[in-house]
Amino acid sequence: MLLRPDQVSMLVFRSGQAPRGVRSSIHTAAARAGLRVSVKVSGAVVYLWKVGTRVSTATPSSRPAIMCEVCGKPIPPLPGTSKQFVHGGVEGRKSECQKTRRYAREHGISIAEAKERRHHG
C-alpha cells in the first residue's frame, strides 16, 4: 500500500476487535518495504500512515533452490513466492515445464512419459 504523506489508511475488522499483534505485523511489513509508519489501534479500527522511509529489512529467501520436476535444473527461490515444482513461464505464458507437468497429471502418466509423448508425438 503506497500512501502519500497526507493520506491515512483505515482497516476495519468485522469481529469488533483488531487482532492481537496487528500493530507489530504492520510495522514488520512496513520495515520490509523500507517504510516507517505510525499505527493507531482503536477497538476494531486500525489507522496507519507513513512517517518516513528506512533501509529495507527484506532478506533473500533462506530456502535452497528446488530442482524442476521436468528438466531437473534448479529453480532459484524468489521472495514472496510459494514453492515451485517447475519453471514458470514468462510474460503470462506457460513454460514448457509447466505444460509437460500438466500433461502428465491430466493423462495419469509419469513426467518422463509425458516428455516423450509431447516431444515425439
Reported as a pLDDT band with limits 50, 70 and 90, residue 119 is confident
pLDDT at 1: 56
CA 69 centroid distance within chain = 21
Among left, alpha and beta (phi > 0; psi -120 to 50; other), residue 3 is beta
Interior/surface letters 66-86, b for 16+ CB within 10 angstroms, e for the rest: eebbbbeeebebeeeeeebeb
What percent of the chain stands above pLDDT 70?
93
pLDDT tens string 62-87: 677 889 999 999 988 776 667 788 88
Tell me how far apart the alpha carbons of residues 105 and 93 are, in angstroms, rounded to a whole number: 19
Closest CA to 65 of 74, 53, 73: 74
pLDDT at 39: 95
- Residue 93, φ and ψ in degrees, nearest 5: -100, 145
Q: Which of 83-87, 91-95, 97-101 shows the lowest mean pLDDT across its residues? A: 83-87
